[in-house]
Amino acid sequence: MSAWMLATVAGVVLVYALLSRRLDRTPVTAAIFFLSAGLLFGSKGLGWIDTAPHGETVRVLAELTLTLVLFADASRIALTALRREYVVPARLLGIGLPLTIVAGCVVALGVFGPLSFGEALVLAIILAPTDAALGQSVVTDERIPSRIRQGLNVESGLNDGICVPLLFIAITVADVETNPASAHEAVVLVVEAIGYGVLFGVVCGVAGALLLRLVHARNLAASTWVEVVPVATAALAYGLADPLGGSGFIAAFAAGLAFGALRRKETEEVSYLLEELGGLANAVTFVVFGAAIAGPALANMTWKVAAYGLLSLTVIRMLPVAVALIGTRARRETVGFLGWFGPRGLASIVFAVYVADETNLPHIETIVSTVVFTIVVSVYAHGITARPLTARYADWFHAHPDDERPPMERGSAPAQRWRLRSSPS
Distance CA 43, CA 293 (A): 9
Distance CA 372, CA 43 (A): 15
Distance CA 391, CA 54 (A): 41
Kindly give the confidence (pLDDT) of every residue in the chain, 425 residues in length, as a single tens digit, with 9 standing for 90 and above: 678 889 999 999 999 999 988 888 888 889 999 999 999 998 888 888 888 777 778 888 888 999 998 998 888 876 666 666 677 888 999 999 999 999 999 999 999 988 999 999 999 999 999 988 787 778 778 888 888 888 888 888 888 889 999 998 999 888 887 776 566 676 787 888 889 999 999 999 999 999 988 888 888 888 778 889 999 999 999 999 988 888 899 999 999 999 988 876 655 567 778 888 888 999 999 999 999 899 888 887 899 999 999 999 999 999 999 999 998 888 999 999 999 999 998 999 999 998 988 888 889 999 999 999 999 999 999 999 999 999 999 999 888 887 778 888 876 655 555 554 444 44
For residue 119, the one-letter residue type is E
Distance CA 149, CA 89 (A): 10
| Measured CA angle at 153 (ends 253, 236), to 5 deg | 15
Q: Where are the domains of the chain?
A: 3-404
Helices (H), 242-363: 248-262, 267-270, 272-288, 295-299, 303-313, 315-324, 332-340, 346-358
Residue 1 pLDDT:
64
Tell me which DSSP letter residue 53 carries: T
Could you tell me the CA-to-CA distances from 137 to 68, 96, 226 in Å, in that order?
22, 22, 30
Main-chain phi, psi angles of 363, to 5 degrees: -115, 40
* 313 neighbors 344 (Cβ within 8 angstroms): yes
Question: Half-sphere exposure of residue 132, counting CA atoms within 13 Å on the CB side?
Answer: 27
Distance CA 16, CA 279 (A): 13
Could you tell me the CA-to-CA distances from 115 to 109, 127, 373 in Å, in that order?
6, 16, 18
Instruction: Provide the residue count of the chain.
Output: 425
* Residue 112: count of CB within 10 angstroms of its CB: 21
Question: Half-sphere exposure of residue 175, counting CA atoms within 13 Å on the CB side?
Answer: 20
Q: Which of 419, 424, 422, 394 is nearest to 142 (CA)?
A: 394
* 51 neighbors 292 (Cβ within 8 angstroms): yes
Q: Which of 330, 327, 299, 230 is nearest to 271 (CA)?
A: 230
Distance CA 92, CA 225 (A): 38
CATH code for the part of the protein at 3-404 = 1.20.1530.20
Rounded to the nearest angstrom, the gap between the alpha carbon of residue 400 and the centroid of all alpha carbons in its chain is 34
DSSP readout, 345-379? Answer: -HHHHHHHHHHHHH---TTHHHHHHHHHHHHHHHH
Q: Which of 306, 346, 336 is nearest to 66 (CA)?
A: 346
